[in-house]
A and B are shown apart, each in its own frame.
Chain A
Amino acid sequence: MSAEDFTLIDGETTSQVSARHLDELAARGDRPLAVDREERVACLGLAAAARSAALASLEAPDFALPDLVGRTHRLSDHRGGKVLLVAWASW
């Protein structure tokens, strides 16, 4: 791995990219980009227009998340029945 490389996080994917590629992504500006130059890590997000359009379609976005014992559950496992989705936190 070159000293020039950055770790780029894009959703579930992590890859190594050059500083130049990072600058190109930043210049493109079509997706939100968070960068830590010292730590050489960056994170690409989803553009507001894309996220808004997805939500406005009224299709409930699918997800895959673990339970306490590490088993993965998907929203789509429950297609065919009504679902009450509750986001909460210990804080």
Chain B
Amino acid sequence: MLHEELGGLGLTVITVALDKSVDDARPWIEAARPSHPSLIDTRHVLGELYHVVNVPTVVWIDERGRIARPNDVAFGTDTFTHITGLRSARSLAALRGWVRGEWPGFTDAEIRRLQRLPTADDQQARAEFALGEWLFRHGRAEAAARHFARAGALAPHDFTIRRGTMSMRGVDPMGPEFRQMVGEWTAGGRSYYEPLPDTRG
């Protein structure tokens, strides 16, 4: 497996589940039996720190703790290519080249050009989400739902909110409400996933 090969070359994979509970993420992690840190982020702390608006999102971080490649959509396999249209081979090849030291990485200027940064509405949406998550955790699901709705209206492109809060509202995130949401989103000419433009890395 690629990640085991790259692990031997000093790459650490850290996965972070933006899930409402450990129980939601557990079956997936246990099935994968990973040897790397598999963390749970119920408050979407990582989401705010890195401006993550959908999953999966991958970030490359170098030995000095600096962002080497900013947020991108990347799948480790082609299991979902028939749905997403995204193939894994290019991003895996790029990752291998970087880890092996065959490719030095982007310049700082290139990384900044590729970064998407949050707006005031994004940050207000995250405050509404955090309030909703606190209310949900304290048994006030109805109040929580109002704040999730506000958050989703402020940041309609943030699917960590719009899809990520569905199960806290008793809605199936794989079901008809989700499909309708994606249908409306893509009908406007937008993409549900926004990978980085085809770049050298």
Interface residues of A (CB under 8 A from B): 9, 32-36, 38-39, 41-48, 51-52, 55-56, 58-63, 65-68, 73, 75-76, 78-91
Contacts and interface: CB of A to CB of B under 8 A. Distances in A.
Interface in B100-120: 108, 111-112, 115, 117-120
Interface stretch (B81-89, B126-134, B186-194): B126-134
Residue of A33, A42, A81 most packed against chain B (CB within 10 A): A81
Contacts, number: 206
B77 interface: no
B123 A51 contact: yes
Contacts of B160: 89
Nearest to A71: B37
Interface in B1-46: 3, 6, 10-19, 22, 24-30, 37-41, 45-46
B122 to A, nearest CB: 7
A45 B48 contact: yes
Interface of B: 3, 6, 10-19, 22, 24-30, 37-41, 45-52, 55-68, 70, 95, 98-99, 108, 111-112, 115, 117-120, 122-124, 126-128, 130-131, 134-135, 140, 143, 146-147, 150, 160, 163-164, 166-167, 173-174
B66 A42 contact: no
Contacts of B16: 65, 85-88
Contacts of A88: 15-18, 55-56
- Interface of A (DSSP majority class): mixed
Given A43-B134, A68-B38, A91 B173 contact: yes
B112 A82 contact: no
B60 to A, nearest CB: 6
B127 A45 contact: yes
Contact of B13 (A9, A35, A68, A84): A84
